[in-house]
Structure 1
Amino acid sequence: MNRTASGPGRDRDEEGRARSARPRDGLGRPLPYGAEGVPRQPEGVVRAPAESLREAQRLLDAGMPFHAHEVFEDAWKSGPASERDLWQGLAQLAVGLTHAARGNTAGGARLLRRGADRLAGGPGAPGGMASAAAHGIDAAGLVAWARELAERTSAAGGGRPPVVDAAAEAPRLRLGPS
């Protein structure tokens, strides 16, 4: 990662694209340069669906939903178009949990609902239920979990919203034992 003169303090890769080299915490928030952060997910990793689900579940269980989102993002970018809604919906659930854990309950609830709608085939989304079933994903359970967490976080209201514990709230992605 190069820090170039193309912008004050901007991190750029060899092609000139912006790439932040700042360390990140478990929820993906930038930390000061030199601070110890958590290892970042490599970008553009092509995994089999089962491997994507295992890695994302590991990250969710560790309280790192932002990082799980990156695994789902790789899956939707590298997978078949027919599964795009599934992986995008899962990514939106992970980002929704990330925002809720950061204290952005309104944004978290919005993304949780959007991801649930995408998985269920709700308003404006074709749905990922068929693809989910093919991979043993508990889409119905995830939709229920996301809608319940969205309700709980958006109902918090008044004053500073409570911060959700990302690890304690981590959903189970697959049916049966992990």
Structure 2
Amino acid sequence: MVDNTIFDSLCADFEDILYSDLEGHASELLCIKYLQQISDSRSKKLVRGVIMGANLRPIISLHVQITEAITTMSGTPHPVNVHFLHVAASAQTYMSEEALRAIGVEDAVVVGESVDKTKTLRLPLLINGYRVLVSPSPSESHFAHINILGEDFIHASRAQVFFGGDPPRFEIAFP
């Protein structure tokens, strides 16, 4: 059995972000539609996010797509815009069931991986062109609809994160 208590306590106060916020308000602020398929898979060098809500949540939209290590019947080779909440305290990146379904992961087989029901499968995905092992957000959690951008992505991409200023802003610069 997978122990999600650390993830639950890390994200205990994120109930102010609803799925409708990702589709609506966050998409409007970012000027990017949530889970929309796009044709341009080039990595962006600077991605500006937004600060959302009274709790100053750093939200950013990055394109995500499956890698050659994933075989899927319904997956798309095109990237999909996924809105992430950046959580510097999260060691790993998580994606919601809806976001994984948008790229066709619900029926995926990861080449070379054995199925082990006692651990969470980490999927090799491309986020802004960088390969990261992504875990599905725990379905039983109250924040299962949220995509968490963790430090594993920041490390893998060698990105620099800026969060601050007046007015507050959030952006990620890539090498």
Higher strand share: 2
Q: Normalized against structure 2, the TM-score is what?
A: 0.32
User: Which structure exhibits the higher relative contact order, with contacts defined as CA atoms closer than 8 Å and separated by 6 or more residues?
Assistant: 2
Rg larger in 1 or in 2?
1
Higher helix share: 1
